[in-house]
Amino acid sequence: MSKNLSELSARKGLKNNLFENLALPDVNKKQIAKDFLIGDASVTGAMSFYDFLKDKNKDKKIYLCNGSACLCAGTQNKVNQQLLNHFESNEIGHMTCLGRCHENSAFHYQGQNYSNLDEQQIDDVIQSNTRIDDNYCVASNGDKFLTSSPITIENFTQAFRQLITTGKKTVLANLKTSQLRGRGGAGFPIAYKLEAAANENATEKYIICNADEGDAGAYSDRYLLEQQPYLILFGIMASAYVVNANYGVLYIRAEYPKAITVIQQAIKDIENLALLANFKFKIIAAQGAYICGEETALINSIEGQRPEVRTRPPFPTQQGLFNQPTVVNNVETLASIYTILQKGGNYYSQLGTDKSTGTKLVSLDSGFNKPGIYEVEMGTPLTTVFELLGGGFRKKLKALQIGGPLGGIIPIKKINGLSLDFESFTEHGFLLGHASVVSIPADFSMIDYLHHLFEFAAYESCGKCFPCRLGTKRGEELLTNAIKHGNKIERVLFDDLLDTLQQGSLCAHGGGIPLPVKNVLQYFSDELNDYFF
């Protein structure tokens, strides 16, 4: 982080945002550097980081999903061959992930996502720009808060006016009582973030909705953004009310184009009501960088800096966007606030377990007979989620990766002992995270899956710290040499690499990748004997 660059970017702030200037189609790097009083190298360094701003990707005309769910489903080679009937190979890029994990065969073309199309449908899309939407199951095993019928603008207005009459202290007290924990992975209580920012003395404060968490297999954020926009915007405005923030920023993945359109319309509806004085929403359309799901990298990105992870302290609630107090929460966390303030914090806290309260969205991929988004009370056995809601497995599986690329890899035999809550997963050496489920088929090579994880981690590393920047790449190289050239990996050396990543990385990107790798080494060692010594 550069404090000076943050201050320079703050001069024009969100109205003439530096990051959005970098993303303009006819960008003039030298003019931007001059306008914002920053160096040419800073402009080039920031732009070169993002998939959709890199010079090498400017000739891409279509993007193929290369997420873990599509990889395991084995659909993408066939789609790629069909796309080659229309495009040169150098015109086909990649995106990770498009949130079409429920049916796979996913690709992005001219600002729209598509999946599970036959050859004729692909021809229609490319030749006639035919729009074809997807479909997936949305259900619950109990209380429906996030999967109920979408709230209306009238519901929103009434609830927010009621919130104002109760006062900030009561709103914060309800959130504390609810024990709502962040739904993006870390599980940090939202009330303490809000309280910390509220206690800071500053002329400007910000609430950021982190809608750039791109965990493969997770499309719950996409569901909420596209189908429950008012829940998210309510959570942002309620948070802004508590901390006295004038801006609510939604940083939305480029991979979710429809979400941006839906949220834009919902914001127009709300802003016309003027429910919170001097408050404004701002949408930032991301440009393709997984690391921006980490809150400090996201903040750097909005400022137009290279999206590298910041060292902490200071924490964002003290010194975040433009060096001002900032609260960052993910989509599902913010969407849960409406129910808590409507039904009361005590009601919400009675659901789930003592330390994991409320409900959680689960994303089931195409490995299930009924893939979709399911709202599940915390503490529910995984077997109930998979069998009762998901309809059981569509094919024979050897493992599930739950919680994204940095989440644990759970062998099928371990499912019976797990329940859907933070503590159960941690106790058994796994990670709940987004509660995204990627099905790994029985015939899928685990050494290939390990290579996929390291390749992803190396490509998406921000490069700020040596352990992650060098360690993820070294892991990818070791596995490549073992698979392609028969060069066995020394297990002691590999374990040392994992420990260095886990202990030395600045954030959960480098620090988290050892978890699924260690799970594979522990539970699938027989498959790896030919590659390690």
Write out residues in the chain with pLDDT < 50, as ranges.
Answer: none
Q: What is the DSSP letter of 151?
A: P
**CATH code, 446-528:** 1.20.1440.230
At residue 315, the pLDDT reads 96
CA–CA separation, 377 and 384 (whole Å)? 11
Q: Quote the CA–CA distance of 278 and 316 in Å, as a whole number.
A: 22
pLDDT at 4: 86
Distance CA 104, CA 307 (A): 29
Q: How many other CB atoms sit within 10 Å of the CB of residue 179?
A: 20
pLDDT digits (tens, 9 = 90+) for 63-95: 999 999 999 999 999 999 999 999 999 999 999
| Tokens representing residue 102 in the block | 């429920």
Cα–Cα distance for residue pair 358/339, rounded to 1 Å: 10
pTM for the whole structure: 0.96
Domain extents for the chain? 57-135, 148-348, 351-441, 446-528
What's CA 247's distance to the chain center, in Å?
A: 21
Element (H, E) at 335: helix 331-335
Q: Give the containing element (helix H, strand E) for 438.
A: strand 436-441
Q: Is the peptide bond before 150 cis (omega within 30 degrees of 0)?
A: no
pLDDT at position 391 is 98
Mean pLDDT of the chain: 96
Say whether 282 sits in a helix, a strand or coil.
Answer: strand
Architecture of domain 148-348: 3-Layer(aba) Sandwich (3.40)
User: What is the pLDDT at residue 450?
Assistant: 98
Neighbours of 394 (CB within 10 A): 16
Distance CA 172, CA 179 (A): 11
CATH code of the region 57-135:
3.40.30.10
Q: Which residues contact 156 (CB under 8 A, 6 or more apart)?
A: 230, 233, 234, 270
Could you identify the residue written with the tokens 């001097």? Answer: 278
Q: 19 is written with which tokens? A: 């990051």
Strand, helix or coil for residue 376? strand
pLDDT at 223: 98
- Per-residue pLDDT of 380-417, as tens digits, reads 999 999 999 999 999 999 999 999 999 999 999 999 99
Q: Give the CATH number of domain 351-441.
A: 3.10.20.600
3-state secondary structure of 253: coil
